[in-house]
Chains A and B, each alone.
Chain A
Amino acid sequence: MSAAIEIGDVRRVFTAGARTVRAVDGVSLSVAEGSVMGIVGESGCGKSTLARLILGLMAASSGEILVGGQNLAEMDRRARARLIQPVFQDPYSSLNPRRRIGGIIAQPLAAQGMRRGERAARVREMLAHVGLDPGMAERLPAQLSGGQRQRVAIARALILHPRIVVCDEPTSALDVSVQAQILNLLAELRRAFGLTLVFISHNLAVVEHVATEVAVMYLGRIVEQAPVADLFAAPLHPYTRALLASVLTPEPGLGVPDVGLGDTLPDPSDIPPGCRFHPRCPEAVARCRTEAPATRWSGARMVECHLADFTSSSPDKTAAAHPETA
């Protein structure tokens, strides 16, 4: 399978006065055509910055991003829009409150130079795809519910038939019953349009349901990546284990887990030496405080941790730790 997105050692640094924030600090990631790449992590881990970099809404400080085989930095805006589109978290602030729904959805077509007459038909067709009544085209965003607005945002993202959609917390502002509607819609549209999705969320249960592959971010780096079933069945990184432990599934009697991460919170303007997770890691040893762990791959799995052992959690015989870290 070819890669829809190929990211090589991408960094993004922000400076504010004396403070330097390494929001994305050397991320390499390959998103296969037709897959759903879930990106999880706590606030401040750089997942939204990564989304903006992939969308070309922000330039990388260094590194290379290929989308559909082309270098994002050299791509024309309009060509980029035909290839990759965003869906953001807040359907209240991502739609222009003074424009009608039809105009909002047609905007990408107008930007590509399509004539007004042709646009209307495409908008009607797309409204049907996202489960909205054709009459909605005449409404204003304020007249719609949160779920309907997110449907509009999805319709706008798909109107140019892009190959890739980057969803940044697409259901976090929605109620659970509406979240389920939107997740089902995304799954349906993914099949219908053959989309590749990048799905960013802090909700691991949602990511487990929609993603085929998951990347776990911590302080600007991907610390673990694996096919979704493997990650949830046998997490290798202590941070992934803590994240999974903190998912409160609706099962009474289990109580609230002790995640064991302590009180030191990650600060992207002050990234610790050695392994960046060591101040919170319940398993850290002396080496973790001084030496940054290498990126280790085994089959489809990747982890950055001195202590992670591919063999212990994977029955796969080919899964042996890389010699350089043994």
Chain B
Amino acid sequence: MTPVLDVSDLRVTFGGRVAAVRGASLQVAQGETHCVVGESGCGKSVTALAIMDLLARGASRSAAHLRFRGEELSAREIARLRGDRLAMIFQEPMTSLNPAYTIGSQMGEVLRRHRGAGRREALDRSAAMLARVGITAPELRLAQFPHQLSGGLRQRVMIAMALLCEPELLIADEPTTALDVTVQAQILRLLQALQREMGLAILLITHDLGVVARVAHRVSVMYAGEVVESAAVGDLFAAPAHPYTRGLLRCVPVPGETPRDHPLGSIPGTVPRLGPDFVGCGFRDRCAHAIPACAGVIPRQGDAHQFLCRLPPGWTETRAA
């Protein structure tokens, strides 16, 4: 089946000096959640913004292809579909909602613009969507301003607003990072329920491996602008292949499993900023397995479970982990 989103060799540079995304490829199928996971500066948010053509001035973007339901998307088409069949939600709902307008007027604008709805109809459909995302007393909420809502409610409003036009693809950039853990669980369950109902394809950007494990069908791990590993969620956690993925998994304490009196695994150093001419593995300066060949061209190995490393699949740690 044709994936809903098919991106190949996406590249983004800022001012020609910093390469934020260096050839990322990913697909999202209908009804599927594809998580892009990585640390700050790895290019995951820039990837999301580039797909939506929302990059800041000074950024330049290229891709071998960027297809939506098999059709190549031009910038003009992205602008037309954005907020309609392509929707996006962000981390901080307080900064994504306009503080000077009521919830009702902001939601109504979406329907008036994309569906040509009248005022009354826009309000009715907005109220229905708020109810659908689990907000009680939706009519009351429509008359309120963003600051009158809690963080969890605001994120529900953002989700409702994104879903108003029944999109086929939802890009969610750290949608629960600013929320308390109990609210995070509620919001993630809501997204899963809506996905089942509407067959949504979701591209979820996160730094949280716990979130990835619990909601993803497929995972892409990004590091220094590249997808260094991509696999079905079960395969990735059962048999991580890239040294960075393995290192990242060792950093996360798991109650009941990680021994309490031992240091956690950690990755020395920090994420590098690479220029567009950088060649070789972006992780090599922090990698315990790096050899001179890592400065050359790195093979992408595997098919359903891909990784970008010279090490053979199923390699074992040579030093005590």
Contact = CB atoms under 8 A, between A and B. Distances in A.
Interface string B142-153: 000000001111
Contacts of A175: 39-40, 207, 271
Contact of A180 (B151, B180, B251): B251
Given A248-B214, A249-B210, A250-B237, A42 B180 contact: yes
| Number of chain B interface residues as a range | 35 or more
Nearest to B244: A177
Contacts, number: 134
B219 to A, nearest CB: 9
A257 B185 contact: yes
Interface stretch (B77-85, B99-107, B257-265): B257-265
B249 interface: yes
B189 interface: yes
B185 A259 contact: yes
A246 B251 contact: no
Contacts of B152: 265
Nearest to B249: A250
Q: Which of B152, B183, B247, B266 has the most CB of A within 10 A?
A: B266
B181 A247 contact: yes
Given A205-B255, A247-B210, A177 B134 contact: no
Interface residues of A, number: 45
Interface in B14-57: 39-40
A209 interface: yes
A250 B215 contact: no
A253 interface: yes
Nearest to B151: A43
Given A205-B254, A263-B136, A145 B270 contact: yes
A43 B180 contact: yes
A180 B264 contact: yes
Interface in B86-135: 134
Interface string B208-244: 1111111110000000000000000110110000000
Contact of A232 (B185, B208, B249, B256): B256
Nearest to B39: A175
B267 interface: yes
A209 B264 contact: yes
A256 B212 CA distance: 10
Interface in A154-187: 175-181, 183-184, 187
B300 to A, nearest CB: 23
Interface of B: 39-40, 134, 136, 150-153, 180-186, 188-189, 192, 207-216, 233-234, 236-237, 247-256, 258, 260, 263-268, 270-271
Interface of A: 42-43, 145-147, 175-181, 183-184, 187-188, 202, 204-206, 208-209, 228, 232, 242-259, 261, 263, 265
21 contacts: A42-B180, A42-B181, A42-B182, A175-B39, A176-B209, A177-B266, A180-B264, A183-B253, A184-B263, A204-B181, A205-B210, A208-B260, A209-B255, A243-B181, A245-B185, A249-B210, A252-B236, A254-B214, A256-B215, A259-B182, A265-B153
